[in-house]
């Protein structure tokens, strides 16, 4: 349906016209996948259906030509300075086509169409990785970015074998496609679509994230400061359903480290210091008893060494994990088990509440402590902190 009097305040009048792509109107309306206007010429509209692309003239309401297209089309990307068209498909491949015009001297007719020039194919790791979107660089119109369902981003660039490979925005579509005096678009040399960049993504199913505390980085005499690896970077730990923890620099958006901590999904995540990450999770029970085996680990991001805090046992799922303000204690709450308080430095159980205590709904550590004492050897400071709980 083509409407010429579109207004934000008023509904379109009855002057809208409908163009049918095939004889079956129901099939024609349901099979259209995407539409886009040609940016180099006026009043030309591309409409893609299953296996075909139709070119419509919106003023005369006629289909100029139709061509066969590869299946599973995702997007059509038209150039503005050349009669060229990029098509992106679900398997990640990118194809370039240019417009053609042929006239017959013997008869007063002409033929319009597009022909394929080159293509670039992406090697997918699995059939579940499917392209879901694409964008054409508005400046160069020579680079295409393809987004996959897993979060990966692949960058493609049109390159001619006669010219050296240049950096991004170093070459334009005008350098690879020429516009002749006969009003035709022709390739300059042999063209290829090459992959120039690849941005990996986080694991699918991100569950939680926590910002790293950096208060301890400025302490004098801190021998654990690893300036070569992290320095004073602002890091965020991101947990996922696959049990992987990603360490991401929030300013550069780079994934600094990745750790496969546990086989179960990460339900809770906390920082136990500048370099220690605490994770908790469990796999859902297949029985009706709702008894699981909790995975609670402490991981050092400098070495990747992980330690299990609690031994495996058939128990109710862990619901809350809270680290004290001074990072001395760890509080664990369960669905039907009593509250536990752990020593975070030595990873040992300090106290388990009575089973008669009500179940914990939420809890938080207070930033005010009652006092501080030093151990006999004088090397460890012990804080007496307050835990505020909300029970049922």
Residue range 305-317, pLDDT digits in tens? 999 998 888 889 9
Does residue 266 sit within a domain? yes
Distance of CA 82 to the CA centre of its chain: 32
At which residue do the structure tokens 């169409």 appear? 113
CA distance 322 to 309: 14
- Asked whether residue 275 falls in the same domain as residue 166, the answer is no
227 pLDDT band, cuts 50/70/90, is very low
- Asked whether residue 381 falls in the same domain as residue 272, the answer is yes
* Domain, as residue range, for 295: 206-391
Q: Is residue 275 within 8 Å of residue 224, measured between CB atoms? A: yes
Percentage with pLDDT > 70 across the chain: 79
- Asked whether residue 179 falls in the same domain as residue 216, the answer is no
Does residue 47 sit within a domain? no
**Cα angle at 219 between 217 and 223, to 5 degrees?**
80
Greater confidence (148 vs 102) lies with: 148
Model pLDDT, residue 280: 94
Query: Residue range 183-203: average pLDDT?
Result: 82
Residue 186 host element (H or E): strand 185-187
CA distance 246 to 259: 7
Does residue 24 sit within a domain? no
Contacts of 152 (CB under 8 A, 6+ apart): 129, 198, 199, 200, 201
Does residue 56 sit within a domain? no
Which token pair is 238?
A: 């991101």
HEC string for 270-295: EECCCCEEEEEEECCCCCCCCCEEEE
- Asked whether residue 355 falls in the same domain as residue 319, the answer is yes
Domain boundary (165, 199, 233) is at 199
- Asked whether residue 109 falls in the same domain as residue 238, the answer is no
Tell me: pLDDT of 214 over 50.
yes
Does residue 55 sit within a domain? no
Could you report the per-residue pLDDT of 155-190, keeping only the tens digit for each? 899 988 876 666 666 788 888 888 888 778 888 888
Percentage with pLDDT > 90 across the chain: 21
Q: Is residue 352 within 8 Å of residue 311, measured between CB atoms? A: no
> Which is nearest to 118 in space by CA: 193, 35, 53?
193
Three-state DSSP class for 218?
A: helix
Does residue 285 sit within a domain? yes
Tell me: pLDDT of 29 over 80.
no
Query: Residue range 17-35: average pLDDT?
Result: 66
CA distance 242 to 151: 15
Q: Is residue 330 within 8 Å of residue 341, measured between CB atoms? A: yes
Model pLDDT, residue 199: 77
Could you report the per-residue pLDDT of 352-370, keeping only the tens digit for each? 998 888 888 899 998 776 6
The β-bridge partners of 160 are 191
CATH of the domain at 378: 2.130.10.10
Contacts of 198 (CB under 8 A, 6+ apart): 152, 153, 154, 155
Contacts of 129 (CB under 8 A, 6+ apart): 92, 148, 149, 150, 152
Tell me: pLDDT of 22 over 70.
no
Does residue 283 sit within a domain? yes
**Backbone phi, then psi, for 202, in 5-degree steps?**
-70, 165
Rg (CA), the chain: 31
CA distance 58 to 68: 21
User: What's the total number of domains in the chain?
Assistant: 2
Tell me: pLDDT of 85 over 60.
yes
Domain boundary (165, 181, 199) is at 199
- Asked whether residue 188 falls in the same domain as residue 247, the answer is no
Would you give the DSSP letter of residue 80? S
> Which is nearest to 334 in space by CA: 372, 388, 288, 280?
280
Tell me: pLDDT of 86 over 50.
yes
52 pLDDT band, cuts 50/70/90, is confident
Three-state DSSP class for 262?
A: coil
Which conformational region is residue 51 in: left (phi greater than 0), alpha (psi within -120 to 50 degrees), or beta? left
Residue 26 host element (H or E): helix 25-31
CA distance 109 to 96: 27
CA distance 209 to 207: 7
Q: Is residue 264 within 8 Å of residue 295, measured between CB atoms? A: yes
Contacts of 170 (CB under 8 A, 6+ apart): none
Query: Residue range 242-246: average pLDDT?
Result: 90
Burial of 19 (0-12, 13-18, 19+ CB in 10 A): middle
């Amino acid at each position: 349906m083509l409407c010429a009097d579109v207004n934000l305040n008023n509904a379109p009048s009855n002057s809208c016209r409908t163009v049918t792509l095939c004889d079956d109107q129901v099939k024609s309306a349901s099979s259209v996948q995407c539409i886009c206007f040609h940016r180099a010429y006026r009043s030309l509209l591309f409409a893609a259906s299953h296996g075909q692309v139709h070119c419509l003239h919106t003023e005369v309401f006629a289909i100029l030509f139709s061509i066969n297209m590869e299946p599973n089309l995702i997007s059509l990307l038209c150039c503005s300075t050349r009669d060229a068209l990029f098509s992106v498909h679900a398997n990640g491949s990118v194809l370039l086509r240019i417009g053609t015009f042929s006239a017959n001297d013997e008869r007063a007719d002409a033929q319009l169409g597009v022909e394929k020039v080159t293509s670039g194919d992406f090697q997918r790791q699995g059939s579940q990785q499917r392209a879901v979107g694409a964008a054409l660089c508005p400046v160069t119109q020579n680079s295409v970015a393809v987004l996959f369902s897993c979060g990966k981003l692949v960058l493609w660039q049109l390159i001619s074998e006669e010219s050296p490979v240049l950096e991004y925005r170093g070459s334009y579509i005008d350098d690879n496609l020429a516009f002749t005096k006969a009003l035709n678009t022709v390739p300059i040399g042999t063209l290829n679509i090459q992959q120039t960049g690849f941005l990996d993504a986080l694991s699918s199913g991100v569950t939680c994230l926590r910002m790293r505390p950096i208060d301890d980085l400025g302490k004098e005499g801190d021998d654990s400061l690893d300036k070569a690896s992290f320095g004073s970077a602002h890091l965020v730990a991101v947990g996922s359903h696959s049990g992987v923890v990603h360490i991401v620099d929030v300013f550069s958006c780079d994934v600094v480290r990745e750790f496969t901590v546990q086989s179960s999904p990460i339900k809770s995540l906390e920082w136990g210091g500048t370099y220690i990450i605490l994770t908790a999770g469990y796999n859902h029970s297949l029985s009706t008893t709702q008894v699981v085996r909790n995975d609670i680990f402490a991981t050092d991001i400098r070495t990747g060494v992980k330690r299990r805090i609690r031994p495996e046992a058939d128990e109710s799922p862990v619901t809350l994990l809270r680290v004290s303000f001074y990072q001395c204690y760890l509080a664990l709450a369960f669905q039907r088990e009593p509250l536990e308080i752990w020593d975070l430095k030595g990873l040992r159980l300090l106290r388990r509440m009575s089973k008669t205590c009500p179940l914990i709904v939420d809890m938080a550590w207070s930033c005010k402590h009652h006092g501080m004492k030093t151990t006999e050897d004088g090397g460890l400071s012990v804080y007496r902190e307050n835990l505020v709980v909300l029970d049922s």
